[in-house]
């Protein structure tokens, strides 16, 4: 164990999936570099945003931070402990302390469990409290997530709840174990626009109140602006910019961040999305461009970008960018 200020720290995380392509007799073994050198830190009582296009590696990074996949490379620490070394009681305690809220509450809840059983199950697994104490805890967390009066919801099954109520149950299930690390992976993207703000406000309130270290994953920067003081931008397996969310949005250092911000729908419904800055689709994670991985789509690419990967450069306080535009020492 090492002493440190961060609740969560990842150093050079890698997850490479071997995949086969081609016919039965002509199989090629390829490697999908879903996560390819990700470093990040999250302090206690801080929520870091993680944004990027579909397929850039956000969920895989989240799963690595929760020790749900073995690492191809790098290290992940939680409260100073290398999580890949955890076994037995320590691993069980980590599983209790690190929770995840998934994108689709319908998929993450067991359709055969009513709300009471859904919320009691983790308490039983982790041997927390007797029956009366568990009941108290369930009622109290249901009140906190706005499922009240609790008695009205306790016996309902997922199909008897609205999408927003289901996501509240999923949040309650994640928080009932009082975790100190919480990952919310696209927590509102499956919900109607009209109920997104309510769920986000709830998440923000609970994370602050309980002083949790949070990671909020989304492709929508406007959502992260609301929830996270600091955000990391991910592209094709790597974080290309990290900084205070406001500074990142105002200053638009990395061309990919700029393109992502311009891809947000315009508030005026008559105006179209501004997607023209990004050329084509995100390349395959099994065929990453040489040099800067964004070079095949970057509207600011220079000659050097096509053969030399950029190094991270500090551009402002607590703000760094991986791009040749900011490397004073170009070679
Ligand atoms: N088990 C797996 N085996 C092989 N490839 C995988 C596996 N899981 C993910 N990938 C690939 O890794 C890359 C990153 O996937 P990931 O799900 O982490 O992306 P994401 O950023 O969460 O995308 P989305 O926004 O669509 O949820 C993708 O190319 C995906 O196809
Ligand atoms: S390094 Fe070059 S290609 Fe990559 S983002 Fe910067 S300008 Fe664009
Ligand atoms: Mg995902």
249: phi then psi, degrees, rounded to nearest 5: -75, -40
CA of 115 relative to ligand 1 center, distance in Å: 30
CA of 24 relative to ligand 3 center, distance in Å: 30
Pocket of ligand 2 (CB under 6 A): 255, 292, 294-295, 298, 300-302, 305, 310, 323-325
How far is Cα 259 from Cα 98, in angstroms, rounded to an integer? 33
Domain extent listing, the chain: 44-72+82-326
Mutate to test the pocket of ligand 1, among 30, 32, 235 (most ligand atoms within 8 A of CB): 32
How far is Cα 104 from Cα 102, in angstroms, rounded to an integer? 6
Sign of torsion, CA 208 209 211 215?
negative
Gyration radius of the chain over CA positions: 21
Residue 165 parent element (H or E): helix 163-175
Out of 1.20.1280.50, 3.40.50.1980, 3.30.1320.10, 3.40.50.300, the CATH code matching 44-72+82-326 is: 3.40.50.300
Would you say the CB of residue 173 lies under 6 angstroms from ligand 1? no
Would you say the CB of residue 67 lies under 6 angstroms from ligand 1? no
Average pLDDT of adjacent 10-residue blocks, the chain of 331 residues: 75 94 68 96 93 92 96 96 94 94 85 97 94 96 93 96 92 93 90 83 86 90 88 97 96 93 60 58 90 94 96 95 83 41
Q: What is the pLDDT of residue 269?
A: 46
CA of 237 relative to ligand 1 center, distance in Å: 10
98: phi then psi, degrees, rounded to nearest 5: -120, 115
Q: Model confidence over 141-197: pLDDT tens digits?
A: 999 999 999 999 999 999 999 989 999 999 999 999 999 999 999 988 888 888 888
How far is Cα 272 from Cα 290, in angstroms, rounded to an integer? 33
Residue 173 parent element (H or E): helix 163-175
Residue 210 exposed, middle or buried by CB count within 10 Å (0-12, 13-18, 19+): middle
Q: Indicate which residue's Cα is closest to atom 14 of ligand 1.
A: 57
Q: How far is CA 328 from CA 295, 300, 312, 323, in A?
A: 19, 16, 12, 11
């Amino acid at each position: 164990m090492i002493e440190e200020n961060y609740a969560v720290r990842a150093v050079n995380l890698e997850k490479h999936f071997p995949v086969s392509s081609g016919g039965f007799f002509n199989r090629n073994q390829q490697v999908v570099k879903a996560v390819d050198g990700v470093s990040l830190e999250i302090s206690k009582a801080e929520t870091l945003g993680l944004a990027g296009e579909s397929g850039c590696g956000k969920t895989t990074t989240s799963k690595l931070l929760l020790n749900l996949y073995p690492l191809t490379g790098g290290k992940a620490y939680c409260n100073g402990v290398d999580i890949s070394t955890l076994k037995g009681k320590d691993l069980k305690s980590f599983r209790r302390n690190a929770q995840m809220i998934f994108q689709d509450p319908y998929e993450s809840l067991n359709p055969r469990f009513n709300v009471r059983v859904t919320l009691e199950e983790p308490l039983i697994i982790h041997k927390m409290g007797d029956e009366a104490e568990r009941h108290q805890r369930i009622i109290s967390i249901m009140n906190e997530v706005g499922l009240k009066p609790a008695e009205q919801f306790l016996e309902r099954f997922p199909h008897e709840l609205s999408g927003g109520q289901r996501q509240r149950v999923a949040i309650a299930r994640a928080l009932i174990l009082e975790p100190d690390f919480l990952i919310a992976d696209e927590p509102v993207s499956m919900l109607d626009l009209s109920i997104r703000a309510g769920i986000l406000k709830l998440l923000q309130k609970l994370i602050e109140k309980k002083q949790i270290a949070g990671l909020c994953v989304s492709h929508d920067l406007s959502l992260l602006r609301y929830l996270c003081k600091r955000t990391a931008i991910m592209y094709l397996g790597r974080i290309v910019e990290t900084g205070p969310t406001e500074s990142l949005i105002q200053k638009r250092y990395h061309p990919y961040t700029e393109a992502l911000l311009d891809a947000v729908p315009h508030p005026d419904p008559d105006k179209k999305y501004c997607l023209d800055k990004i050329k084509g689709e995100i390349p395959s994670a099994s065929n990453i461009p040489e040099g800067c991985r964004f070079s095949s789509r970057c509207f600011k690419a220079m000659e050097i970008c096509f053969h030399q990967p950029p190094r991270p450069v500090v551009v402002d306080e607590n703000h760094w960018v991986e791009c040749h535009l900011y490397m004073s020492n170009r070679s």
